[in-house]
Amino acid sequence: MKYWKGIEELESAPEFMQSAFAEFMPVKESHASKDATAAPRRDFLKLMGFGVAAATLASCESPVRKAIPYLNKPEEIDPAISNFYASTYFTGADYNAVLVKTREGRPIKLEGNPESPITNGGLSARAQAAVLNLYDGGRLQNFAIKSGNGYQKAEVATFDQAVRSKLAATTGRIAIVSPTIISPTTKRAIAEFAARYPNTTHVMYDAQSASALLQANGGTVPGYDFSRANIIVSLDADFLGTWISPVEYGRQYAMTRKVNRDKRTMSRHYQFETAMTLSGCNADIRVPVKPSELGQVALALYNAVNGAGGASAYKNDKLTQAARDLTANRGASLVISGSNDPAVQALVTAMNAALGSVGTTINPNAPSYVRQGDDARMTALVNDMNNGSVGAVIFYNANPVFNHPLGAKVKSGIAKVPLTISMNDRLDETGALCQYAAPDSHWLESWNDYEPKRGFLSLAQPVITPLFSTRQGQESLLRWAGNNTTYYQYLRATWRALTPNDAAWDKVVHDGVATGTALAAAPAMGAALSPAAAVDQIGRAPKIAANAVELALYEKVGLGAAGCEANNPFLQELPDPVSKATWGNYVAVPRKMAVENEWEQGDVIQVTANGYTVELPVLIQPGQANGTVSIALGYGRTQSGKAGDQVGANAAPLAMATANGLMYRNVVTLKKTDATSTIAQTQTHHTVMDRKPVVQENTLAQYIKNPKEVTEYEKVATPDGLEKPNKVSLWQDYQYNNHHWGMMVDLNSCIGCGSCVIGCQTENNIAVVGKQEVINRREMHWMRIDRYYSSDHHKNEFETVGKVGTYAAMEDPSDNPQVIFQPMMCQQCNHAPCETVCPVLATTHSSEGLNQMTYNRCIGTRYCANNCPYKVRRFNWFSYYSNEKFETVNGHMFTDLGRMVLNPDVTVRARGVMEKCTFCIQRIQLGKLEAKKQKRRPIDGEIVSACAQSCPTEAIVFGDMRDPNSRISQLMRREDGERAFHALESINVQPNVTYLTKIRNAESEFFAKENA
């Protein structure tokens, strides 16, 4: 098995080979100094000796900083202690129950709420980064009324009076446009507004629509339970990445994938998809298909499962195998689809009913409410706006000019509506066209409630006073309806039935979650297609020419499809789990297409459909279905803020609008331009010099046969014969008498979502560096998730043709490779090579097994980075928090407002020092201190690193290996000699991070339904 990180490594491209054996690569400095007289770095080094001496003789005055002490300090606030408050994050259909960590009244980090039965303490990457949005200076800071070409600040009372007057005078229809709302009290406020203005309608839409799924299932998303599924067949649904409820589904999915000597069964996952998604990367069996083939795939599967239906043109052995496994596991099977085609969704619903999934892998009593957008109603509203029948429109956290495929028609329609009001948090692409702007408060400044699934409720509470002169959108609607009640009182009234007294209410506020229901039943979205009608519709679908290029539009794990997180630099710089690209979108193409068209990665091409053209660079993506290209939604903002504007291109208008709804696919034409644009990828920045093993995987059949033969253990030659590497050492081993901190990562459970990367970044004040510095190989993430493709082909079988190679007389391994993810952080080696070479002892080993960094001792030789076999050390080339070159991308560190997000327990590192993962030493010390106060040892689970805490699938286990009862100690004993291994074990650096071999269930034989 050959592992390769990208096309560059597969082809042994000269650029990759050069970087593989070079410590530092030549870089392009894109941030030219504004000072033309600035001396180059070499001159600085020449004068450094004098400069240091002169600094010691010079006298200077420190700035005077005055502090006002508390006269009456709040009892719950201690400047050195963090407080946690339960709340809820819901943006762009991404639901997370959270705990908000605050210091002196300022939120600095979000963590998962373990009380939630939906997210179970997990957190998505978007939720991890959401705290940064609170301190975004790009938010609208006051109410405003359009005047000429600009906006004038308005007093709230004057603003409200003007809006009420215009609403009362409106003769046409009033529309409230919003994304999906899952708040019972918010819907009650909208209903009260509609009662005051009876001609009001509320229209919801989703940037990545699930309208067809809702239509096929009575107006709600089925309550899927992946934890009870032996067989999962996904038809282009990225349920682990972005589809419906990925944090919830990821936890359930991981439960079926964990194996040990007492549980040698796991689910089998089939994925039929166009683009390589997070779910496709984790699938046991993945089949690339064109978007136009998806209906035929659903029809073929339906025929095989139901034994009825029309003939399907799609034939594939893997589909036959999937159908056989589904029928053999009735009651423990699940079929899902991300298609927005009503016919496909109708067949999927029929299949699940025939397989007995309803009541087992689908809970009919707990449907999901996180997608409620109705394509038909939104399209009708856009048409009504353009024909003049709409008298007023209120955009409530909705930006359809940007993120709806009919955005151009929305824009023209706004100009024809007499009264337009934006309640968005900024003057975005839609808000800037409206006459009135009533900015909504940030969710961390607000009260609210949520019902993501029927019977599961959660609350949001304000953890900081509004930073700007904003007001909750619900309260604005109430004011315009003549109700002067505060939204808190209004919310409390909604909850009287569930919390009849203050004690019950206080408990819910404290816990953040509750059981019960407050949302009315969802209305049916038109009649669902019958299976017969669905079969007929698929059979009559227009044929697409064989040489046509099909487009698939998708949603990225980090940024999302709505684009509302575009101004969040944490998410812009989060490497995409599959492509490892940052800062923008691109056209993902299969390697075969690149060869045929003589495209190289970074070549800019034009993509045209619907009379709309975008220009984006080419990214050669292994696993992309032949004859197709893919583009991510959510990019190309023009009015999001400094960090998000002009990043990528908006692909939403390329979607196909049909009589059946919005299809996030189309037939496109491609044309190469003369331009090039380097894609900022992180994956091939580091190399392990062909050392192995780095990652390991095996099959379930082999694991069942003998668990002790699924992992390869390296041995080295000694005078006494072959021995384990740790038997041969020039080091004197450490003795850990008190604590020995370690980490274990289960590669079966790691889905590559990136939540741990952002959790680490927010916890440890890690800087954002921007696109050019990522290209320069200078990203600062302490933790990365390495993505490896695997194939059985070897380099010597490869023939290079120019700079883009091709395999001769054999299958191209990039057509559909397997993928494995490996979180990589400082391994805290017991025999750490970095410690040996540091000339100033800036990096040392602690008595508890940690590789420590003393920042103010580091002089920046970078010897440690060169000597680290895992390449996990990061060098501060700049003072990212004060250098004006990085103000656009790292602006939150430049203002007093932005610096409020920084964790005071972690030093902000200066230019010229090395930094890396510390196993969150500040969290370790806090846990030890709390235990010491109570005169006891820390209890296992009390001290958790930020990455382990954030992981939605519990792939990372952190703990004290000196505690025999700790979870990590028990896992080490159980997996020793079976799945437990160390990365690059042969070089004997003795890491304190242990990995568990990935097991794939891709054999033809299947197991008994033991975990039904």
d(CA 172, CA 331): 52
Strand, helix or coil for residue 906: coil
- Residue 182 makes CB contacts below 8 A (sequence gap 6+) with 90, 95, 369, 370, 372, 450, 451, 452, 519
Mean pLDDT for back-to-back runs of 10 residues, the chain (1012 residues): 68 63 58 43 42 38 56 72 92 90 91 93 93 91 91 93 93 94 94 94 94 92 95 95 94 93 92 95 94 93 82 85 93 95 94 94 93 93 94 96 95 95 94 95 95 93 93 95 94 91 93 85 74 88 90 93 92 94 94 93 94 95 94 94 92 87 90 94 70 84 92 84 78 86 95 94 92 91 91 46 42 83 94 92 93 92 91 90 81 79 90 93 94 93 93 94 94 92 89 94 52 37
Closest of 679, 569, 772 to residue 31, by C-alpha: 772
The Cα-based distances of 574 to 579, 734, 755, 919 in angstroms read 11, 37, 10, 20
Question: pLDDT (tens digit, 9 = 90+) per residue, 995-1007?
Answer: 999 999 986 444 3
Strand, helix or coil for residue 932: helix
The pLDDT, as a whole number, for residue 49 is 41
What would the two tokens of residue 267 be? 């689910």
Closest of 651, 649, 647 to residue 574, by C-alpha: 647
d(CA 336, CA 592): 29
The pLDDT, as a whole number, for residue 394 is 97
Residues β-bridged to residue 684: none
d(CA 760, CA 764): 6
CA dihedral 770, 772, 774, 778 (to 10 degrees): -100
Residues β-bridged to residue 994: 744
Rg (CA), the chain: 29
- Residue 793 makes CB contacts below 8 A (sequence gap 6+) with 2, 807, 810, 813
How many residues does this entry show for the chain?
1012
**Identity of residue 190:** I
Question: pLDDT (tens digit, 9 = 90+) per residue, 109-163?
Answer: 999 999 999 999 999 999 999 999 999 988 999 999 998 888 999 999 999 999 9
The pLDDT, as a whole number, for residue 811 is 66
Closest of 504, 488, 513 to residue 97, by C-alpha: 513
Residue 897, burial from CB neighbour count under 10 angstroms (0-12, 13-18, 19+):
middle
Let me know: does 979 contact 697? Beta carbons within 8 Å: no
The Cα-based distances of 863 to 834, 835, 870 in angstroms read 7, 10, 14
The pLDDT, as a whole number, for residue 64 is 55
What end-to-end distance do the CA atoms of the chain give, in Å? Answer: 33
d(CA 961, CA 967): 9
d(CA 831, CA 29): 36
Question: pLDDT (tens digit, 9 = 90+) per residue, 679-707?
Answer: 999 977 666 556 667 889 999 999 999 99
Question: 693 preceded by cis ω (within 30°)?
Answer: yes
Closest of 897, 769, 904, 908 to residue 134, by C-alpha: 897
**Identity of residue 889:** V
The pLDDT, as a whole number, for residue 799 is 41
The Cα-based distances of 220 to 372, 449, 454, 504 in angstroms read 7, 19, 10, 30
Strand, helix or coil for residue 887: coil
